[in-house]
Structure 1
Amino acid sequence: MNTNHGIPMQLDARAVDILCGITTATLTTLLLKKGLRNVWLRGARPLRTGQPRLVGRAFTLRFVPAREDLATPESWSSPISTRAAIEDMPAGCIAVVDAMGVSDAGIFGDILCARMQKRGVTALVTDGVVRDQAGVLGTGLPVWCSGAAAPPSVAGLTFVDWQRPIACGGVAVFPGDVIVADDDGAVLIPAALLEEMLLLAPEQERLESWIMSEVDKGAALPGLYPPNAENKARYEAAKKAGP
């Protein structure tokens, strides 16, 4: 099942360090400039706000609608199960789960999240919900989801696969794509665009920080945000002058 098209599932420390300093808002702007409008995973909100920004390669899991002969408690012991998928998760990945936005069956509870945390999984991101919310929070595993529900996954979903392309929150997610998650939600960076984002994103953050400093000084927005030629020249001069 571990299909990632040759992409290493662990990001190098440089990429993690850079992206942990870039907001998801900045990333969506940069990706929009590249023509990608659909990169924000709908329904994936932080279960606990104020967590550090987290970054990792996507390890994908997929549910389909429940079918009574397959979605049973006995299925949890199947070789194709969420339990087996968790044992395949490498340290540093972000588990991205397609739950089709189902909100009345929790995909994972405290025990599964505890195992993910023990395996070094960076975070869980899903368009579905979790169960045992207090227990999940207690595991320390950072979670982005659409809420909590008491019923187990098999009450509304059938688990079918992992490490295949999925749709999570209306976004196409391939194994090995990069996920950045913060209080604004979770954003996908296609694997092929990672290096370009690592170059562009820090510069965009620096520019916006300079623009904010100009706003704090009372500058008007027209010609400043976005900057016209005059303000671009002022920004470049400020960069050269240093702090």
Structure 2
Amino acid sequence: MTTTVSNSTRTIGGFAKADNNQLSSLYQPLRVVDVADALDGIGYFNIGLMDREVRPLWVGMKFWGEAATMRCVPANKPMWKLDSTDDIVGAHGIWFEKNPPARMPTDLPAGHVIVMDAGGGPEVGFWGSENSMGAVAAGAVGIITDGYCRDTAEVARQRTPICSRYRGRTIIPGRIEAVETQTTIACGGVQVNPGDIVGADDDGVIVVPQEVAHEVAGHARAILLSDMRARKKKYDALGMTGDETVDAALVEAYFADV
């Protein structure tokens, strides 16, 4: 659970309070495991559990948001030999001019999570330290791909929220093409639709189908609070100082209006 203080108001995941009209706000304090247990509880066993190899690139990452999807495929044409250092530096622009990619909509609401089906192609660092910051600047709170990310030391240093299956070295031209956005995709072995709730933390990535997301959030909240209270008793018995992971009062206050 990530809490921040802004204008003297404590927020969780950027929200001051949970709001039934803002679906992702219902998930901000939750752990991936709470949501997994809640999905089990309604009979959605293993649905939404993304392959465990798709993981946050740095420890302590956590985010929840509504999915914005992208589908990629391996490029079926090679990149040509470039003539100068300037062209090599500008290879992406040269490639995209001849092979325009599908682009994410520019009107996505802040708080979305980009989820990319990498298409199972060759090693290619589609996401890196620079373009991922552009996605965050455009309102993304997380990026998930079942392919590669490169510049991973910089990604970790920047605390850019990326989950990937692999760490890669190469660049896009001649290797991968984005062909479709905001459609049903497969990522990490699960179906993802625009508007599904997607979350990640140190335990991995999970997807909640939009049609059950409100119900799941309610069950998961109860699971989290039960666990926090039980752990707080253990903290007290062991003489441990409490922290936000056992601060049930904070979570209860956050959800007071729903």
Q: Do both proteins adopt the same fold according to a TM-score greater than 0.5, normalized to the shorter chain?
A: yes
1:66 aligns with: 75
- Provide the residue aligned with 2:113 in structure 1: 94
97, 108, 121: which one aligns with 1:77: 97
Partner deviation per Cα, 1:24-78 (whole Å, 9 max, x = no partner) = 1111111122222221221321111112x21110000011233116999544236
Is the CA contact (8 Å cut-off) linking 1:103 and 1:146 kept in structure 2?
no
TM-score by length of 1: 0.72
Of 101, 117, 131 in structure 1, the residue corresponding to residue 136 of structure 2 is 117
When normalised by structure 2's length, the TM-score is 0.69
CA distance in 1, matches of 2:24, 2:109: 16
Contact 1:60 1:174 in 2 (8 A): yes
Match of 1:54 among 59, 63, 75: 63
One-letter amino acid of the counterpart of residue 31, structure 2: T
CA 1:189–1:45 in 2, change beyond 3 Å: closer, same or farther? Answer: same
SS at match of 1:60: strand
Q: Match of 2:39?
A: 31
Q: Deviations over 1:170-207 (max 9, x none)?
A: 00000110111111111111111111122211112223
Partner of 2:194: 175
Aligned with 2:55 (options 35, 45, 49): 45
Residue 70 to residue 30, structure 1, CA distance change in 2 (3 Å): farther
CA-CA distance at 1:131 after TM superposition: 1.7
Unaligned stretches of 5+ residues in structure 1: 1-10, 219-243
The CA deviation string for residues 146-182 of structure 1, in whole angstroms up to 9 with x for no partner, is 2321111345322211101000000000011011111
CA–CA separation in structure 1 for the residues paired with 2:150 and 2:95: 18
Task: Tell me the distance in 2 between the aligned counterparts of 1:115 and 1:196.
Answer: 33
Q: Distance in 2 between matches of 1:86 and 1:131?
A: 24
TM-aligned CA distance change 1:77 to 1:88, over 3 Å: farther
Aligned to 1:201: 220
Structure 2 unpaired stretches of 5+: 1-14, 81-90, 238-258
Q: Could you tell me which residue of structure 2 aligns to residue 236 of structure 1?
A: none
CA RMSD of aligned residues (A): 3.1
SS in 1 for 2:195: coil
CA distance change for structure 1 residues 199 and 126 in 2, over 3 Å: closer, same or farther? Answer: same
Q: Is the 8 A contact 1:103 1:147 kept in 2?
A: no
- Number of aligned residues: 206
1:79 to 1:195, Cα distance in 2 relative to 1, 3 A: farther
Higher strand share: 2
